[in-house]
Structure 1
């Protein structure tokens, strides 16, 4: 399948197999096949992927903030193998549930240090 990355993939919502949002496609990671042709191997989601894609002062600030909001910097992006993509339309639909993916480090830090401290947060979904 041929797609235009900038128009049809980047910044699309990523949705798990149950319909829950996982994040957005902030960047992609390429690999090269045995014949030397590049292909998209992973979808990247998270502050580091977006910051690296944006670049410049704003991108560096976003990456620095992400690293600050993690227990073990650097805050690596969530890497989703393209083989886990079920379909692509207005969103990127995955074959797996969100809880089968690694939790992004900034999200884990925010949950541990902020959200879990809110009274009743243990009864909320997520």
Structure 2
């Protein structure tokens, strides 16, 4: 299937196999020869790179050096008005900011480790 990255992917909502939102496509990763789409990238650092200039640097800096969330393209089941994944959201690595908040803030709240999901 042939896709136009800027038209078919960028800024599209990503949903898991149950329709639960995962994020938006902020950028993509291509193979070294730039012929194959290898991953979808989400997060501020990926988005900042698309803007460039002062605004892009500011958006990237606000991410605190966090790497973008990388979703391998082979997990994509279909692309229409959204990007549908073939797996549940819980099987993906958490976004860097979410993990940092959990490790440094939420996880330090007394009783947080006993909370049910």
Does TM-score exceed 0.5, indicating one fold? yes
CA distance, structure 2, for counterparts of residue 96 and residue 37 of structure 1: 26
**CA–CA distance in 2 between the matches of 1:54 and 1:106?**
20
Unaligned runs of 5+ in 2: 110-114
In structure 2, relative to structure 1, the CA distance for the partners of 1:104 and 1:55 (3 Å cut) is same
Count the aligned residue pairs.
112
Deviation beyond 2 Å, 4+ runs, structure 1: 107-114
CA distance in 1: counterparts of 2:34 and 2:59, whole angstroms: 32
Are 1:56 and 2:53 matched, yes or no? yes
**Deviation at residue 17 of structure 1 after TM alignment:** 1.1
Give the SS at the match of 1:38.
coil
Distance 1:111 1:50 in 2: 23
Match of 1:93 in 2: 84
Aligned mate of 1:80, from 35, 60, 71: 71
CA distance, structure 2, for counterparts of residue 62 and residue 101 of structure 1 = 24
Q: Deviations over 1:9-56 (max 9, x none)?
A: 100000011211000000000004xxx561111010111000011111
Alpha carbons of structure 1 residues 60 and 37: separation in structure 2 relative to 1, 3 Å: closer
Q: Cα 1:108–1:37, aligned 2, differ >3 Å: closer, same or farther?
A: closer
Query: Structure 1, unaligned stretches of length 5 or more?
Result: 68-73
Provide the secondary structure at the position in 2 that maps to 1:2. Answer: coil
TM-score in terms of structure 1 length: 0.78
Instruction: Write the distance in 2 (CA, Å) between the matches of 1:89 and 1:111.
Output: 33
Residue 102 (1) aligns with residue 93 (2): yes
In structure 1, distance between residues paired with 2:19 and 2:63: 26
- Residue 42 of structure 1, aligned match among 29, 39, 42: 39
